[in-house]
């Protein structure tokens, strides 16, 4: 087993940087179904370009490499203790090399371990089986989509859908509601795994296990096969669309599993996964630890036509003609410039911007900023960073989900004179009111497009609060050509609120029973 650690390192790198073939085909189908001359069409073109860039650069597809979760099936007699040590070593190496972002944080102190090791991380599940090979599967599921997981206890009342009972139709309603409640915050268009039954813990485990299924397989349970097809077809009628921009493509895959339950409990658990569906697996030779077989089709066998993706994504406003304008803004930005923007405008940022996530927002509520933020741009981003003799370099830098900052954002905008906030998924009424009162905008970047945006970052000017850990530190970045779409403006308009209201009305169309 001397090669097992190296095999685990290769598995991590492949999972983080190269989407498998079945996922790429699903993204291609989504692009074919979407109108290219829309915000959602532009988002999908950017996503496709980002997939190619990550493969070519061997860099993370998304900067949030999530909680590495390994499922390991071993023959009887395999040394699971030594295998676990090897997986730990591979995780540390992959983190040091910038293939994983350091994501292991002490839940009480907030301290980042820096190497992705700590109590509970990474997650490793071992199970013996009767085959003579070792089967290792890995999923990297980011925090944005993990936060949109949801569990229902039947019977229950669901917004727009009414009563969901303990039957197949009640399950149907729960799944549709789970997609509706995610909106664009889980980086739609997404994939879902559903677990029916079990207890609260095993139900979620079953749901996540469904994400390891091949997208083109057929459920052996006839009722569940029909339900999977129904959900995939009708979820895309909700009009949520890619990134929650509205559109034809909200869901790219649905897999459902079932297990027995207690008489008193009936759980429906949904594991929501973003478009950056990073899972891969290998079959290992027990004698040597070498990879005998990759378990999912290699991503580079399904081409995304990189040249056309680059042209489509770089078209910017050309792809959304009639829906907005393209405006170049040099930082610092004035209130007058911000007041001239409207929802739908494509904004291209030049100059310095500053990253800020949960730890920074909490800190700024009661402290001064380390730099002048008047007219500044705050980017909700936890980048993957590497340092060499020349300094810090950005390896991946897509947006994080913004709604977590809703308790702080409005006050911080007004306190420091910030003019623009960049993130994904939109924000709520408190932030919208502050944008209107103060003169600010919310710009929606394309979630998961970590390589696309990293290319726009020309220099790292500095960093503050490294004690918060690399993802939570305040990075000062020089950018050029950083494009995002105005989805909340200074006039009280919010695309996110509009899409949510529209999709709620469409959800109500599915209230009547379908499966008896």
pLDDT means per 10 residues, the chain with 516 residues, are 95 98 96 94 95 96 97 96 98 98 97 97 97 97 96 97 97 98 95 98 97 97 98 97 96 98 98 98 96 90 53 44 77 97 96 97 97 98 96 96 97 97 97 97 96 97 97 98 97 97 97 90
Q: Would you say residue 512 lies in a domain?
A: no
CA-closest candidate to residue 369, choices 384, 358, 356, 382:
356
Q: Are residues 389 and 447 in the same domain?
A: yes
pLDDT at 302: 66
Q: Are residues 360 and 310 in the same domain?
A: no
Q: In which element (H, E) is residue 322 found?
A: none
Q: Are residues 129 and 253 in the same domain?
A: no
Q: Would you say residue 509 lies in a domain?
A: no
- Lookup: tokens for 121: 């991380």
Domain's final residue, options 261, 287, 316: 316
DSSP string, 146-189: HTT-EEEESSEEETTTEEE-SSHHHHHHHHHHHHHHHTTTT-SS
- Lookup: tokens for 147: 């936060």
The answer to whether 273 touches 447, Cβ cutoff 8 Å, is no
Q: Are residues 428 and 411 in the same domain?
A: yes
Give strand pairing partners of 162: 158
Q: Are residues 307 and 333 in the same domain?
A: no
Q: Are residues 3 and 114 in the same domain?
A: yes
Phi-psi region of 116 (alpha: psi -120 to 50; beta: other; left: phi over 0): left
All residues at 6 or more sequence positions from 418 whose CB lies less than 8 Å from its CB, including other chains: 373, 374, 375, 376, 377, 378, 412, 440
Q: Would you say residue 368 lies in a domain?
A: yes
pLDDT at 303: 59
Q: Would you say residue 49 lies in a domain?
A: yes
Q: Are residues 46 and 195 in the same domain?
A: no
Angle of the 168-182 helix axis to the 495-507 helix axis, nearest 10: 170
Helical residues (DSSP H) of 386-428, grouped into ranges: 406-416
Give buried/exposed letters for 29-43 (b at 16+ CB in 10 A, else e): ebbeebeeebbbbbb
**137/140 Cα distance (integer angstroms):** 10
Q: What is the dihedral of CA 466, 470, 474, 477, to 10 degrees?
A: 120
Q: Would you say residue 69 lies in a domain?
A: yes
Q: Would you say residue 513 lies in a domain?
A: no
The number of folded domains in the chain is 3
Q: In which element (H, E) is residue 436 found?
A: helix 429-438
**88/336 Cα distance (integer angstroms):** 52
Q: Are residues 157 and 23 in the same domain?
A: no
**10/8 Cα distance (integer angstroms):** 5
The answer to whether 370 touches 470, Cβ cutoff 8 Å, is no
Q: Is the pTM of this model over 0.85?
A: yes
Q: What is the DSSP letter of 299?
A: G
Q: Are residues 153 and 104 in the same domain?
A: no
**171/370 Cα distance (integer angstroms):** 51
pLDDT at 304: 53
pLDDT at 278: 98
pLDDT at 2: 87
CATH number for the domain harbouring residue 377: 3.20.130.10
Q: Are residues 360 and 242 in the same domain?
A: no
- Positive or negative: CA dihedral 29, 33, 37, 40: negative
Q: Which domain holds residue 188?
A: 143-273
Q: How many CB atoms lie within 10 A of CB 155?
A: 12
All residues at 6 or more sequence positions from 233 whose CB lies less than 8 Å from its CB, including other chains: none
Q: Would you say residue 510 lies in a domain?
A: no
Which residue bears the tokens 């095993």?
202
Q: Are residues 249 and 285 in the same domain?
A: no
Domain's final residue, options 296, 316, 336: 316
Q: Are residues 260 and 160 in the same domain?
A: yes
Q: Would you say residue 1 lies in a domain?
A: yes
Domain's final residue, options 257, 289, 316: 316
């Amino acid at each position: 087993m001397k090669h097992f650690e190296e095999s685990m390192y290769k598995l991590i790198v492949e999972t983080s940087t190269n989407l498998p073939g079945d996922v790429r085909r699903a993204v291609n189908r989504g692009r074919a179904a979407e109108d290219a001359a829309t915000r959602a069409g532009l988002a999908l073109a950017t996503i496709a370009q980002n997939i190619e860039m990550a493969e070519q650069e061997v860099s993370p597809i998304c900067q949030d490499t999530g909680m590495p979760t390994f499922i390991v099936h071993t023959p009887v007699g395999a040394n699971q203790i030594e295998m676990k040590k090897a997986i730990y070593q591979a995780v540390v190496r992959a983190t040091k090399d910038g293939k994983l972002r350091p994501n292991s944080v002490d839940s009480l102190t907030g301290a980042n371990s820096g190497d992705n090791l700590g109590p509970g991380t990474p997650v490793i599940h071992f199970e013996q089986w009767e085959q003579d090979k070792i089967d290792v599967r890995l999923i990297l599921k980011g925090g944005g989509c993990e936060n949109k997981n949801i569990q229902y206890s039947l019977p229950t009342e669901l917004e727009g859908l009414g009563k969901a009972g303990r039957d197949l139709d009640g399950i149907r309603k729960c799944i549709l509601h789970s997609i509706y409640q995610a909106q664009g915050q889980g980086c739609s268009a997404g994939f879902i795994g559903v677990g029916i039954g079990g207890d609260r813990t095993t139900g979620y485990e079953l749901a996540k296990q469904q994400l390891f299924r091949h997208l083109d397989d057929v459920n052996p349970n006839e009722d569940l096969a029909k339900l999977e097809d129904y959900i995939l077809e009708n979820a895309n009628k909700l009009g949520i669309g890619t990134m929650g921009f509205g559109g034809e493509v909200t869901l790219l895959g649905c897999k459902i599993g079932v297990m027995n339950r207690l008489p008193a409990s009936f759980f429906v658990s949904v594991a929501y996964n973003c478009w950056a569906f990073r899972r891969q697996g290998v079959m290992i030779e027990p004698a040597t630890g070498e990879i005998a077989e990759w378990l999912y089709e290699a991503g580079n066998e399904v081409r995304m036509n990189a040249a056309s993706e680059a042209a489509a994504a770089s078209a910017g406003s050309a792809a959304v003609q009639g829906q907005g304008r393209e405006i170049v803004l040099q930082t610092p930005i004035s209130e007058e410039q911000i007041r001239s923007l409207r929802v739908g405008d494509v904004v291209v940022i030049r100059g310095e911007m500053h990253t800020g996530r949960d730890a920074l927002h909490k800190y700024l509520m009661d402290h001064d900023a380390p730099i002048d933020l008047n007219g500044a741009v705050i980017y909700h981003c936890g980048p993957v960073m590497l340092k060499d003799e020349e300094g810090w370099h950005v390896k991946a830098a897509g947006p994080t989900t913004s709604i977590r900052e809703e308790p702080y954002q409005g006050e911080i905008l007004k306190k420091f004179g910030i003019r623009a906030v960049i993130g994904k998924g939109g924000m709520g009424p408190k932030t919208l009111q502050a944008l209107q009162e103060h003169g600010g905008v919310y710009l929606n970047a394309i979630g998961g497009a970590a390589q696309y945006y990293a290319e726009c970052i020309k220099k790292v000017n500095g960093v503050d609060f490294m004690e918060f850990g690399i993802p939570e530190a305040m990075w000062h970045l020089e950018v050029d050509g950083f494009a995002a779409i105005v989805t909340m403006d200074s006039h009280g308009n919010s695309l996110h609120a509009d899409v949510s209201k529209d999709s709620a009305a469409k959800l109500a169309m599915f209230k009547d029973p379908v499966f008896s």
